[in-house]
Structure 1
Amino acid sequence: MTAQSNDTLKFERRKFEVTDLSQGTLFDPAAHGFSPVRTSTGCHRGFECQFSVSDGQLFLQTLWINHGDFTHSFNPDGSIRSHDLRLLPMPLLNGISATEKYDNSRFPDFQGRYDGLKLPLSYTGHVLIAADRIFNGPWWGGHRRAWDFHHSLMLSFEQGRLTARKDTSEILQVFDARYCTDGYLLGDKRRNGLRYIRRHIGHGFYFF
């Protein structure tokens, strides 16, 4: 899979990448009238978010998104012959209109962008965020994981309110060194690696 862009989150005046969630999603575009579609192999979801935590509340600050649908043509046997993307007018989000791109030099992977949203979110669960990539070269596939960074935190939320924070940097670097092969949890070490993560961080994280 092509390298995928991570969402970002500003916390304590620092920009982090969102690397994992214990459950659900921080922001659901469908709940706000969007139908996200992919226009880039670098973002299969069709949208990207910048979040922030301010005064203990989780917010959506910026959204890049494609809003549209696909129309399909079919072969006589019922299989899909081709599909065409149709972009739709961008709706208001939290009372704000999207800035839509007018050429390929502006946020080229997305149809439009919403700035200054400050939309409060009601997420409940744990969020792994990370900063300072260990490897700064090109990324070839999938999402960057929390142990691909020097510094990581786990933030806990209850209905969008920050309830706890935990520095997970050392935990994840030990996990990588002890259980991973080239950054991946594989083979005979997988069971013990999962036990280590569940004991020191918790359950539910997708990449674990």
Structure 2
Amino acid sequence: MTAQFPDTFCLDGQGFDLVTIHGAPLFSPAEYGLFPMPRITACWRGYVCQYGLREERLVLEKLSLNLPEDAARPPIGGIVPEPFDRAVPRLFSTVYENLGLPVPFSGSLWIARGFIPELYVHMGFAPAWKYTQVRSLKFLDGRCTAQQDESQAMEAVRRQKAAQPESA
């Protein structure tokens, strides 16, 4: 399996990869009548979400997805996607920008930045310990109730893994 595009998270003006979700799923295109298809091996889900915080509330800011050419592209939260144009090459056929769509999530999200290239494996999604900066965010009904820096804990995981002998 090819390494996959992660969902992303913008926090304090910085971009992070969303690396762990503890709780119910965040956003489902199917709930909006959208059924994405994989177009590239780096995105088998057929879509990527960008989340953020607005007034300490979790929101979906951007949705990029691949839909069949003849698929409906309904507004989401009053926002219509960029017009589909086959002549314009891009990774995703349909992009909704500036959504600000509230996500009533309860649970925790781990977000990370500063991926360590030496730890790259050409499959799936990268786990939190493969990043230099890691934060956990706790949510209750979409409201952020706590944030914590997990970077030192992930550094300890890297040290522990480095100390383990490689299996044959």
Matched residue, 2:154: 172
1:63 has 2:67 as partner: no
Give the deviation of 1:146 after TM superposition.
1.0
| 8 A contact 2:51–2:60 mirrored in 1 | yes
Give the deviation of 1:23 after TM superposition.
2.4
| 8 A contact 1:26–1:123 mirrored in 2 | yes
Matched residue, 1:155: 137
Change (3 A) 1:115 1:139: farther
Matched residue, 1:92: 75
Matched residue, 2:49: 49
Give the deviation of 1:24 after TM superposition.
2.7
Matched residue, 1:9: 9
Change (3 A) 1:133 1:111: same
Identity of aligned residues (%): 28
Change (3 A) 1:143 1:90: same
Measure the CA separation in 1 of the matches of 2:80 and 2:120: 34
Runs (4+) off by over 3 Å: 103-106, 136-139, 179-182
| 8 A contact 1:100–1:111 mirrored in 2 | no
Measure the CA separation in 2 of the matches of 1:88 and 1:35: 9
Give 3-state SS (helix, strand or coil) of 2:117's partner: coil
Give the deviation of 1:180 after TM superposition.
6.3
Change (3 A) 1:166 1:98: same
Tell me the alpha carbon deviations over residues 11-52 of structure 1, each in whole angstroms, 9 at most, x when there is no partner. 122111101101232211111111121111110111101111
Q: 1:66 is aligned with what amino acid?
A: N
Q: TM-score, normalised by structure 2?
A: 0.88
Unaligned runs of 5+ in 2: none
Tell me the alpha carbon deviations over residues 131-190 of structure 1, each in whole angstroms, 9 at most, x when there is no partner. 1122179762211221111100000001110011111111112112214689xxx98xxx
| 8 A contact 1:101–1:107 mirrored in 2 | no
Unaligned runs of 5+ in 1: 69-85, 188-208
Give 3-state SS (helix, strand or coil) of 1:93's partner: coil
Measure the CA separation in 2 of the matches of 1:139 and 1:54: 34
Q: 2:132 is aligned with what amino acid?
A: H
Measure the CA separation in 2 of the matches of 1:58 and 1:181: 38
- Residues 119-198 of structure 1: matches in 2 within 5 Å? 119-135=101-117, 140-179=122-161
Give 3-state SS (helix, strand or coil) of 2:19's partner: strand
Measure the CA separation in 1 of the matches of 2:125 and 2:20: 9
Q: TM-score, normalised by structure 1?
A: 0.72
Matched residue, 1:80: none
Please tell me whether Structure 1 or Structure 2 has the larger radius of gyration of its CA atoms: 1
Give the deviation of 1:106 after TM superposition.
4.1
